[in-house]
């Protein structure tokens, strides 16, 4: 019961009560814990520490016994008395009937909602179990790393600015996860994955990659997915060998990924790299948002709201798809995407194509008249602005600056003003106007190497030229 529940103030912590229960008389022990929700039911609950994470924590905090009630097949064990040997699905309604017969059932709440863990693919209910697992101690001082623990290494990587996170407000999320980090369970009871490198024979255990010899049986568990993928920055470069690739490319400059796996993947890579090679794995982390459907829902097969980018490229072109994923997509913010949005940027791609045809089909010149200098200066300034936005990790602002200038300034004003000049009789002015294309291109080329270096996080943004 909750320690603040006034209905049960007469009951004290550790007090025992003799009462009638499902299989006969029992002695119950009173536990006061804030994990209990006093608004649910009577506000008093029994606990099964072997089959609930919350109950396990309560039992651990109060020094209670932890006993298994069901096996891995969902069959009740002998502790269940007359219900032993039955599957939980069959036993549950029978237990309710037994409570009714004994006059112990007060009421059944038809409007009660409960959160139950289910298998997302098969739909079955997930029944928690207490099992022997492999853990990584995140609080143990590491001699080779200056007596710092894994938690301290991960925290120091960001606090010291060895790693910069964009947008920076996600640093709070990073620290919150690390400050509340428990020992990391790295073993999984699934069929596919990297096998745990541990071997057993009778009561002996050896941890190594190769078999110790005959009669040794390897652990059937696999490593946690994030343990394996946490090695990504190292294993792809040939570690544990000191390969030229590892020495050249580690640490890398930038990691780009979704904010939803900041602690699943990013923090695990920081952990692995800091421990194994004494380096941060990367110096900058760019966190983009999630791509959702037009209604803001997460895309999933079950909802049928997935947009296949290959289909969209076939219909509208790759440039339209790229722009639809960048325009308005500020770092860390989710993006609503539907086909209409992609179709709209196809129009912009077509506009660029037609502009290029118009400009490059004209006769070339090699000088600019004073009255036309403003066009060159504007194009040069836009080039600089776009590059600066990319450098500050604002791809959305870079794309918007390009879009606004090309569509609403260059196409609507500059080109329209140029048409009568290009069709007129003033050859000097005509050549002056045409040369703008070459000069603007030169401005872009002068700044392009730096632009491309900056834009590694989104190589789709700047096309090859």
HEC string of 260-290 equals: HHHHHHHHHHHHHHHHHCCCCCEEEEEEECC
Contact call for residues 350 and 341 (beta carbons, < 8 A): no
**CA–CA gap between residue 46 and residue 67 (Å, rounded):** 14
Quick one: pLDDT at residue 10?
Answer: 95
Q: Is the pLDDT of residue 366 over 70?
A: no
Count CA atoms within 13 Å of residue 158 on its CB side. 25
Q: Which of 259-263, 310-314, 389-393 has the lowest mean pLDDT?
A: 389-393
Task: With cut-offs at 50, 70 and 90, classify the pLDDT of residue 247.
Answer: very high
Quick one: pLDDT at residue 456?
Answer: 45
In Å, what is the CA distance from 146 to each residue of 24, 137, 152, 269, 281? 58, 16, 11, 19, 19
Q: Is the pLDDT of residue 428 over 80?
A: no
**CA–CA gap between residue 92 and residue 117 (Å, rounded):** 17
Query: In sequence order, which residues have a C-beta less than 8 Å from that of residue 250 and are 6 or more positions away?
Result: 233, 234, 237, 273, 277, 279, 281
Q: What is the mean pLDDT of the chain?
A: 87
Q: Is the pLDDT of residue 108 over 60?
A: yes
* Domain 303-330+338-457 sits in CATH 3.40.50.300: no
**CA–CA gap between residue 332 and residue 391 (Å, rounded):** 17
Ordered by start, the domain boundaries in the chain are 6-101, 135-186+224-288, 303-330+338-457
Quick one: pLDDT at residue 445?
Answer: 53
Q: What tokens appear for 397 in the block?
A: 């602002």
Residues 110-134 have a mean pLDDT of 85
Contact call for residues 199 and 219 (beta carbons, < 8 A): yes
Quick one: pLDDT at residue 361?
Answer: 67
Task: With cut-offs at 50, 70 and 90, classify the pLDDT of residue 448.
Answer: low
Share of residues in the chain with pLDDT > 70 (%): 89
Task: With cut-offs at 50, 70 and 90, classify the pLDDT of residue 364.
Answer: low
Asked, colleague to colleague, whether 6-101 and 303-330+338-457 share their fold, the answer is: no
Residues 203-210 have a mean pLDDT of 94
pTM for the whole thing? Answer: 0.75
Which residues face 257 on adjacent strands? 287
**Burial class of residue 415, CB neighbours in 10 A (0-12, 13-18, 19+):** middle
Looking at domain 6-101, its CATH class is alpha beta
The per-residue DSSP string of 340-384 comes to HHHHHHHHHHHHHHHHHHHHHTSPP-S---GGGHHHHHHHHHHHH
Residues 5-12 have a mean pLDDT of 95
Q: Is the pLDDT of residue 342 over 70?
A: yes
Quick one: pLDDT at residue 443?
Answer: 45
Q: Is the pLDDT of residue 459 over 60?
A: no
Quick one: pLDDT at residue 181?
Answer: 93
**CA–CA gap between residue 289 and residue 291 (Å, rounded):** 7
Which residues face 28 on adjacent strands? 17
Q: Is the pLDDT of residue 401 over 80?
A: yes
Task: With cut-offs at 50, 70 and 90, classify the pLDDT of residue 245.
Answer: very high
Share of residues in the chain with pLDDT > 90 (%): 63
Task: With cut-offs at 50, 70 and 90, classify the pLDDT of residue 362.
Answer: low
DSSP H/E element including 256:
strand 252-258
Residues 422-445 have a mean pLDDT of 58
Task: With cut-offs at 50, 70 and 90, classify the pLDDT of residue 178.
Answer: very high
Residues 254-266 have a mean pLDDT of 94
> Which pairing describes strands 217-218 and 204-207: parallel, antiparallel, or unpaired?
unpaired
Q: Is the pLDDT of residue 124 over 90?
A: no
Tens digits of residue pLDDT in 45-92: 999 999 998 899 999 999 988 999 999 899 999 999 999 999 999 999
């Amino acid at each position: 019961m909750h320690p603040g529940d006034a209905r049960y103030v007469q009951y004290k912590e550790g007090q025992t009560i003799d009462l009638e229960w499902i299989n006969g008389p029992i002695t119950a022990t009173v536990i006061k814990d804030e994990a209990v929700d006093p608004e649910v039911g009577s506000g008093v609950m029994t606990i099964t520490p072997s089959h609930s994470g919350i109950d396990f924590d309560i039992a651990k905090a109060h020094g209670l016994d932890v006993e298994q009630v069901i096996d891995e097949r969902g069959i009740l064990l002998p502790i269940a008395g007359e219900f032993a040997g039955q599957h939980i699905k069959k036993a549950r309604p029978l237990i309710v009937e037994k409570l009714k017969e004994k006059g112990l059932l007060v009421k059944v709440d038809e409007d009660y909602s409960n959160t139950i863990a289910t298998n997302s693919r098969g739909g079955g209910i997930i029944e928690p179990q207490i099992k022997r697992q492999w853990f990584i101690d995140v609080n143990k001082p590491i001699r080779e790393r200056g007596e710092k623990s894994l938690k301290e290494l991960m925290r120091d990587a960001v606090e010291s600015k060895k790693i910069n996170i964009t947008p920076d407000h996600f640093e709070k999320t990073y620290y919150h996860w690390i400050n509340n980090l428990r020992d990391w369970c790295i073993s999984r009871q699934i069929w596919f994955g990297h096998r745990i490198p541990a071997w057993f024979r009778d009561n002996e255990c050896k941890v190594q990659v190769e078999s110790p010899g005959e009669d040794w049986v390897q652990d059937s568990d696999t490593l946690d997915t994030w343990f394996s993928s946490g090695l990504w920055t190292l294993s792809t470069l040939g570690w544990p060998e000191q390969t030229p690739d590892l020495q050249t490319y580690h640490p890398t400059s930038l990691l780009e990924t979704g904010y939803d796996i900041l602690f699943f993947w990013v923090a695990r890579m920081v952990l692995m790299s800091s421990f194994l090679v004494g380096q941060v794995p990367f110096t900058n982390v760019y966190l983009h948002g999630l791509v959702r459907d037009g209604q803001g829902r997460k895309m999933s097969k079950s909802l049928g709201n997935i947009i296949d980018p290959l289909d969209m490229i076939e219909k509208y072109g790759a440039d339209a798809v790229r722009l639809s994923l960048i325009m308005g997509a500020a770092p860390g913010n989710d993006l609503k995407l539907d086909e209409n949005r992609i179709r709209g940027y196809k129009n912009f791609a077509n506009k660029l194509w037609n502009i290029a045809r118009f400009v490059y089909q004209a006769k070339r010149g090699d000088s600019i008249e004073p009255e036309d200098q403003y066009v060159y200066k504007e194009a040069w300034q836009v080039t600089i602005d776009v590059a600066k936005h990319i450098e500050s990790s604002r791809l959305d602002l870079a794309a918007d600056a390009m879009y606004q200038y090309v569509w609403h300034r260059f196409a609507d004003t500059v080109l329209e003003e140029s048409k009568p000049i290009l069709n007129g009789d003033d050859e000097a002015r005509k050549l002056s106007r045409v040369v703008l294309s070459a000069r603007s291109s030169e401005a872009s080329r002068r700044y392009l190497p730096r632009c491309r270096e900056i834009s590694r996080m989104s190589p789709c943004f700047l096309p090859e030229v």
